[in-house]
Structure 1
Amino acid sequence: MKIIKHSVLAQNAHDPVTALLETLGIDVVPDDVTSNDYATRIFLNRRESGDGALCVANVGLVLAQHSLWLQCLPRVQPFYAVKCNNDPVMIKMLDILGCNFDCASKGEIESVTKLGVSPDRIIYANPCKTANHIQHAASRGVRLMTFDNEEELYKVKKLYPSAQLLLRIGVSDPTALCPLNLKFGCDPIKEAPVLLKLAALMELEVVGISFHVGSGCRDATAYAVAIAHARRLRDCGLFLGHPMNILDIGGGYPGHKDPSYISFEEIASVINNSLEEHFPIDIGVHVIAEPGRFYAERAFNLYCTVIARNCVPANRITKNDKNMSDQGFMYYINDGVYGSFNCIMYDHQKPNGYCLRGEQDKSYWSSIWGPTCDSLDLVVPCTKMPLLEEGDLLVFENMGAYTLVAGSEFNGFSRPEIRVFIQKSDYVMLVALMLSKENELLVNGGSHLAPPNSQLCETFE
């Protein structure tokens, strides 16, 4: 594999994407180079200098997800959920594509604004905020923020009375991977009208309704129910004198196709039908959303090295005495649940890797463990794998969401190195997007709440 970064950059020395790639350390590669090819080259070059895990991001997959969003939800302006993956490359690429940003803390606001994002393109989507963080948002000019209770209204009135508020209602999919109404969201029938009235009496501006059905949604009807509640509450808010010109439909969108989950296209169909019924275009409501997993999950693969192997009776792995006479293997790798695989504990994921050097005829009962001394550091409890050797690379795909961002360095084990590449055709497309007048209007001009431009969708095709 040949990285063609320098020859491409020499030919395009003055375009803004070139400067950005150099700043962020993104390699341009030929179109036939895959994430696995790119990772293999890196491991070959660093075999003697490092033994940590490697995370590889393919910018082209971020572009593909954005294209899918534009095709399926053309009315909805995405505000990327920074909590999902705060890698600077992710943020900057989505900035270029015209996405806005959902931040939940002072730190996230800072990380986004430092990359050049205007504060009017940020929603502070945390219904319960510290006083210091509200004051910080005010100092940075981040006006759009959520609330779901009376005490928060008093806090905002005291610290940031010019904020533009979105009322977060508690409508959730109980079957979602991570239901969120356990922590946030007021009752849309009993509590929401009371809060809208209180905000009016306090002369605070409520500009719309917000909800989040839960991360990893499995039932799209939750969106339909929430949108119907939002329309009723919009009418209530208008009667009380609030502008009510924004609808925030939150997150919950899948990041890759999985037959055990509802598809993004199915969710989008339900949303579009509900919007047409309750929020037709002519009523002048800007519709926004907070996708995180949708953009980040597919783009990142994690590559772990087998650092040790232990041959054991297979029943130690399967917990079945019928396998007592079979051979099994416990493998130890250089990342675990205290690192990138924290998603097992916090995001209910069940990762399953494969060996990069290919399949063998015979497979054995196997378990895969992280590198720490904690016996809870178990990545894959029980699976069938070919015989692995120390130094073999295991690939874990779709590892971009709620993984790196929540990892630690427990026991002194470092976080994975992150490397990013873009295929040449995607690079050319990025240049075209940045230089086109249509995208320039979306990124730097016009309303920060304007829906994504359909012209961009045509560019991706």
Structure 2
Amino acid sequence: MNMEQLPLANAAETGGGIQSLQMAPGINGRKITWLNKNGILGLVQSIIWSQKEAKEPFYILDLGLLINLLNHWSRHLPMIQPYYAVKCNPNTAFLGAMAALGSSFDCASRAEIESVLALGVSFDRIIFANPCKAESHIKYAASVGVNLMTFDSIAEVKKIKRCHPTCSLLIRINAVEDTTSRSPLSSKYGALPNEIVPLLQAAQAAELNVVGVSFHIGSGGSDAGLYRIAIAAIKAVFDATVRLGMPRMKVLNIGGGFTAGPHFDGAVVAVKEAISEHFCKEEGLVIMAEPGRFFAEKCFTLAANIIGKRVRGDRREYWITDGIYGSMNCIVNDQAVVTCTPLATTSNPKNLTCRNADLYKSTVFGPTCDAFDTISTTFWLPDLEVDDWLLFPNMGAYTSATGSNFNGFATSSISTHLAYSNRL
């Protein structure tokens, strides 16, 4: 197993970092718009004008913000190599940027592995981090050289023995109560404390190479203290392998759950202190993580056109070109709280954001024929018109990746425009 870690790009040392992206797969040959002091509004206007009659929803991917987030990670957690969780947002340009900037990848299926390899990423920068895999997917991983994967059951040990017996393994443990996270995972994955030793013994009997331990505090976790608990639990597993006469483990995978902002600062402190307390004497330790939303969430902005309007008393009701069955599925599936900025390109182009305008309690619906497709009933918006737009920030995590094509509104066909800013 080759666990050599790649250095993450440092924009401060590379003149902004954009040079390393211009030739990246998914980006090469595409226009990247530099955002000026007016930010994203000017770019949105130009895209809207270029669409003419189509007025389809679109994303803007801020590559400068992505570089700054990677710099932020490398400054505060330099000893931890990120393996970006592809499931969070598999946008090709985004994956290409992550690859060019030195990230490795957490894949959960054959298709995700194929998409990453297609970018020119080496197989040894991939972890197959789904604890329950179809045998055909395990065989595919073996065929392309992906040699690191997770397990948390006896059945998985048997499958891996049959399909990829030379693979290096991480035992996924259920170390914390993650009910405070936006998407809890502990009810589905992770070996319970009383299951860990029997699983290690089963892997030992099968002559499989267990090289480390992984955990996950839940996607979008809010309690940084859970990292302390889980890292302490991992140390106990490391010690258990020694008692069982197994080779000393060397990989610590602290999973995901990171969110950009104040939560990350708390997570950094918790992770560093726990590693220092429990692993300060471990020689040759490799530490990895599987962040998804930390990198993807803030980098994408969604623009949606208003296609319908109704006035009922003091309330305004609007229909837009994306909704709950599309990008906004994050409201239901990821407990996301979305916000929006009005862009009055038709009704008030001289005051795009309707500054100082009267606001009305507003309902915003998605475009499908299902009443469940209701984005919000509590927005306060100015009096907008059909063909105005709503701009939704922070729409990169579990949005387009988990949308559908219900009613013929194809989430997968929403276009992405590339931009570059210096914000964080």
Tell me the TM-score normalized by structure 1.
0.82
Give the equivalent residue in structure 2 for 1:180: 185
Give the equivalent residue in structure 2 for 1:328: 315
Where does structure 1 lack aligned partners over 5 or more consecutive residues?
1-14, 314-326, 427-459
Letter in 1 for 2:302: L
- Structure 2 CA distance for aligned equivalents of residues 84 and 26 of structure 1: 24
Asked if the contact 1:123–1:144 (Cα under 8 Å) also holds between the matched residues in 2, the reply is yes
Q: Per-residue deviation at 1:199?
A: 0.9
- Structure 1 CA distance for aligned equivalents of residues 179 and 282 of structure 2: 33
Asked if the contact 1:211–1:226 (Cα under 8 Å) also holds between the matched residues in 2, the reply is yes
Give the equivalent residue in structure 2 for 1:407: 403
Of residues 14, 37, 40, the one that matches 2:42 is 37
Asked if the contact 2:27–2:96 (Cα under 8 Å) also holds between the matched residues in 1, the reply is no
- Structure 1 CA distance for aligned equivalents of residues 164 and 61 of structure 2: 39
Local SS of the residue matching 2:362 = strand
**1:347-390, Cα deviation, whole Å (9 max, x unpaired):** 11121212132134311111000001000000112222111111
Of residues 371, 374, 379, the one that matches 1:378 is 374
- Structure 1 CA distance for aligned equivalents of residues 198 and 407 of structure 2: 50
Alignment of 1:121-136 (within 5 A): 121-136=125-140
Local SS of the residue matching 1:310 = strand
**1:166-195, Cα deviation, whole Å (9 max, x unpaired):** 0000123221111100100011x2111121
Of residues 124, 143, 163, the one that matches 1:159 is 163
Asked if the contact 1:350–1:380 (Cα under 8 Å) also holds between the matched residues in 2, the reply is no
After alignment, is 79-88 or 15-24 more displaced? Answer: 15-24
**1:178-231, Cα deviation, whole Å (9 max, x unpaired):** 1100100011x2111121122111111100000000001111111101000101
Letter in 2 for 1:198: A
Of residues 30, 43, 47, the one that matches 1:25 is 30
Of residues 72, 75, 92, the one that matches 1:71 is 75
Of residues 386, 395, 420, the one that matches 1:422 is 420
Of residues 382, 386, 389, the one that matches 1:390 is 386
- Structure 2 CA distance for aligned equivalents of residues 73 and 395 of structure 1: 33
Local SS of the residue matching 1:355 = strand
- Structure 2 CA distance for aligned equivalents of residues 127 and 22 of structure 1: 32
Change (3 A) 1:191 1:137: same
Of residues 91, 96, 106, the one that matches 1:102 is 106
Q: Per-residue deviation at 1:238?
A: 3.1
Change (3 A) 1:32 1:365: closer
Local SS of the residue matching 2:228 = helix
Give the equivalent residue in structure 2 for 1:312: 312
- Structure 1 CA distance for aligned equivalents of residues 145 and 51 of structure 2: 44
Give the equivalent residue in structure 2 for 1:209: 213
After alignment, is 276-285 or 231-240 more displaced? Answer: 276-285
**1:275-314, Cα deviation, whole Å (9 max, x unpaired):** 001112652210000000000011100011111100113x
Q: Per-residue deviation at 1:33?
A: 5.8
Question: Does residue 302 in structure 1 map to residue 302 in structure 2?
Answer: yes
Asked if the contact 1:59–1:299 (Cα under 8 Å) also holds between the matched residues in 2, the reply is yes
Q: Per-residue deviation at 1:79?
A: 0.2
Give the equivalent residue in structure 1 for 2:363: 367
Local SS of the residue matching 2:298 = coil
Give the equivalent residue in structure 2 for 1:83: 87
Q: Per-residue deviation at 1:246?
A: 0.2
Total equivalences in the alignment: 392
Asked if the contact 1:342–1:407 (Cα under 8 Å) also holds between the matched residues in 2, the reply is yes
Tell me the TM-score normalized by structure 2.
0.89
Asked if the contact 1:304–1:335 (Cα under 8 Å) also holds between the matched residues in 2, the reply is yes
**Could you tell me the percent identity over the aligned residues?**
38
Q: Per-residue deviation at 1:30?
A: 5.7
Give the equivalent residue in structure 2 for 1:222: 226
Change (3 A) 1:18 1:296: closer
Question: Does residue 111 in structure 1 map to residue 115 in structure 2?
Answer: yes
- Structure 2 CA distance for aligned equivalents of residues 309 and 396 of structure 1: 19
Q: Per-residue deviation at 1:236?
A: 1.3
Q: Per-residue deviation at 1:18?
A: 3.9
Q: Per-residue deviation at 1:22?
A: 5.9
- Structure 1 CA distance for aligned equivalents of residues 220 and 27 of structure 2: 35
**1:419-443, Cα deviation, whole Å (9 max, x unpaired):** 11235x89xxxxxxxxxxxxxxxxx
Asked if the contact 2:22–2:29 (Cα under 8 Å) also holds between the matched residues in 1, the reply is no
Asked if the contact 1:206–1:243 (Cα under 8 Å) also holds between the matched residues in 2, the reply is no
- Structure 2 CA distance for aligned equivalents of residues 390 and 156 of structure 1: 56
Change (3 A) 1:281 1:86: farther
Letter in 1 for 2:263: S
- Structure 2 CA distance for aligned equivalents of residues 370 and 110 of structure 1: 33
RMSD over aligned Cα atoms: 1.8
Alignment of 1:250-329 (within 5 A): 250-255=255-260, 257=261, 263-280=263-280, 282-313=282-313, 327-329=314-316
Change (3 A) 1:243 1:119: farther
Letter in 1 for 2:323: G
Give the equivalent residue in structure 1 for 2:11: none
Local SS of the residue matching 1:297 = helix
After alignment, is 352-361 or 198-207 more displaced? Answer: 352-361
Q: Per-residue deviation at 1:34?
A: 2.2
Q: Per-residue deviation at 1:28?
A: 4.0
Asked if the contact 2:76–2:268 (Cα under 8 Å) also holds between the matched residues in 1, the reply is yes
- Structure 2 CA distance for aligned equivalents of residues 367 and 156 of structure 1: 51
Change (3 A) 1:19 1:190: closer
Q: Per-residue deviation at 1:23?
A: 2.7
Change (3 A) 1:27 1:149: same
Instruction: Determine which structure has the larger helix proportion and give its number.
Output: 1
Question: Does residue 195 in structure 1 map to residue 199 in structure 2?
Answer: yes
- Structure 2 CA distance for aligned equivalents of residues 129 and 30 of structure 1: 43
